Structure 1
Amino acid sequence: MGASQPAGGAATLEDPRATGEDPGQDVRAPAVSALHLSAFRSLRARTVPLGPVTVITGPSGSGKSTIMEAYEALARLGQGNALGEVFGERTARPGSPSPYVPQGARPDRQGRRGFRLGCAVTGPAGPLRFDVAVQAEPELRVVGERLSRDPGETLLATALRDPARRSVTATRHVAGADRALRMPFPDDRLALPLLPLRVAGTTTEDRALLEAVEQVVVALRSVFACDPVPARMREPVAAQDGRLGGDCANLADVLRRTRAECATRHAALLAVVREGCAGPVTELRAEAAGSAGMAGSNLVRGVLERGGTLPVTPLEWLGEGELRFTALALVLLTGPGVLSVDTVYEVPAARQALTVLADGMDRGLDGRQTTELLALAGRMARRGHVRLLATAPAGGALARAAAQTEGVTLIDLGR
């Protein structure tokens, strides 16, 4: 389940789901259906159900961003990142208290403290649950993982048997008995993404285990955390690979690519932008920015064409709300071939559903823009294209729109 890039980009742009074609009701893409935060930051014993479109609302400090942070952390671990890459950057210095451990958690006799988080995953292999326990103090280590099938059948478990060794022991359930895998796994990252390298897949039990592992890993890796930053989107950018970053700073380069490679998708984006931007909009494109012979002559900027004799409007002239709206619409309409995500290319596109994480999604947007984006997310979710998990302040435009939109899972942490 590697993440090698395909040569070129046009093939990945022409995802049938982006054009509105139904990939088939019999295909169920792996998806995270719930987050389980047993003890993570300020949240304890919290289960967060997730639908195709989910909006989490609540007052400041209620845990909205913590839920998003937990999901993104699980996604990065599922991609094979080391614990230090995911959690170490938030620790000021070695030996200092970890911000991820609940403040009231007491250390054990060896002075160790940690946190636990997990998820439920649906898909072709059936309902699964994955949990991981992490020692955060005095150093980051995986204490244990558990992959189980409802109701309570453990498929794979790891445990830190000997604290003196930098490894964990893995056991799997085969023919009614638990069997230890010969080779240990490192204690600084998840064993789950590494398992296909250790299991041959020659028996029925092997294949069932690998299918379950693939379902969880694909669901976790199919995540794109998005927070458009208008200040970064106003500057011309180099024409490169046309893969959108999480801050959407290279929006103009992506517009250059989508307009050239996927007319259907670009037309859909243009139709949405017309609804969310003030004034007439006849085209959305990129143009060269910089003079020939200059070092930055490969720079591009985005522009709106207004039609008739009206001059074009550079995107940098738009307000923050219009810029964020345009970027979020592009994210919801595109897929792994355009977004900068760790894509599982060997899994068919119809068996992948990208989950967009948008913390504070309605920041800077008005009610009309928010309603349009939520409706767009619903349409794309019904086609199996994307799932959306967004947060919004209590009483804000997104929370109000979610309460009135059919098919949206609304979670109010203030209740």
Structure 2
Amino acid sequence: MSIEVYWLVQSRVIVVTGGGSITADDTSKLDEWVSTFLNQNVESPIHLLLDGVLVERMPGLMVLKKWGWPKHIALGYVMIYGLRDTPLRMVVEVIGRLFGLKFGFVNTFDKAVKTLQKLDKSLPGDIKTKIPEGTDIFPTRPLRKTRISRTVSEQLLKVFNGRCEYCHTTQDAVVKLKVVEIVPDGSIAFENLCFACDTCRQHKQEAQTSADVLFHPRRDYWYEHFQWSPDGMEVVPITPKAQLTIAQLGLNSPEQLARRSQGLREGWHTPDLVRTNHFRDDFFPEGGKVRLEIRDAITSQKVKMIIQPTNVIIFGRSDPGDSLQPDINLGPYGGYRLGVSHIHARINPPVSNALTINDMGSTNGTFVNDDPVKLNEARRLCDADEIRLGNMVMRVYFED
């Protein structure tokens, strides 16, 4: 058996190659060696060039599932070169997906190096290849991007308010939101990820303007750059950056307007008008009722209920082990998954025709129209306000 692991670029690119007879013990040692190299990472990701001949000679390829290096936090791209287009390669691809690797197949070692240089511009341009250039065997396949880590997913969920972070269209059966990179081909860290609808994603891919000069969902506050038109149909720019973003991403394209019109008719497009519509009614009528519309995180349906706030109404999640229970149990609607606390918030009986809400020391906060309610603050509610408990969204309507 002959296995060689060495730095092609110190602390940046590892090469793993070999031949001869390879045993299961050899593959275990190889896992230790590669992990040792990865542990030397300081700041930048370390890429791996893996010899396809070595892969072909490994006994029981599924032993790779037990390896530690594919899960290593320092690992960047994995390029497998020279692996023939056989069922074995399909197995390798499946295992790579299970690990969530950024990986790809290329024909030769030289092409693997050149591909890495294109993917990671920080690598030197004069890398000297130690292995002679080979011949093409099969077409190159695109790289797979790694899955988002659980920590980053949790961070994204905390800021997720059920809307596209560019056009603020509400997610529903018609509009599906996905996580996208704010700066294309950048990192998959929280600071470079956001939720976007299919229309904004498509326009973003075709945009001629650098992403750096457009609205940045992680650095910019939406309401400082945009507002809704009075009818909730158009996104209106406040700043030059917003004007450029609207033009480049087609935030008011015919497709967007048609979708919003449908959403307004069907009730799933619920633009927040409170920022620009100062005449909204905050007068709660004597003996009035509150109609709540809750977005069920499990079924994606809207749940409607009527409450009469003659007494304090507590919102939260039921806990059989606690003597204090909420009046409105949000657990059945996905409250646990969306970060609703056991005792989260309360709506108070109206005083002088003012209906207010308090946060009760919740873990993930209470928000009215995306504005956080401070502890011990009684926030006055207006008709059609949006309340967010953690990441659970509901809208309140005043009724006589």
**Structure with higher RCO (Cα < 8 A, 6+ apart):** 1
- Smaller-chain TM-score bracket: under 0.3
TM-score, normalised to structure 2, is: 0.25
TM-score, normalised to structure 1, is: 0.24
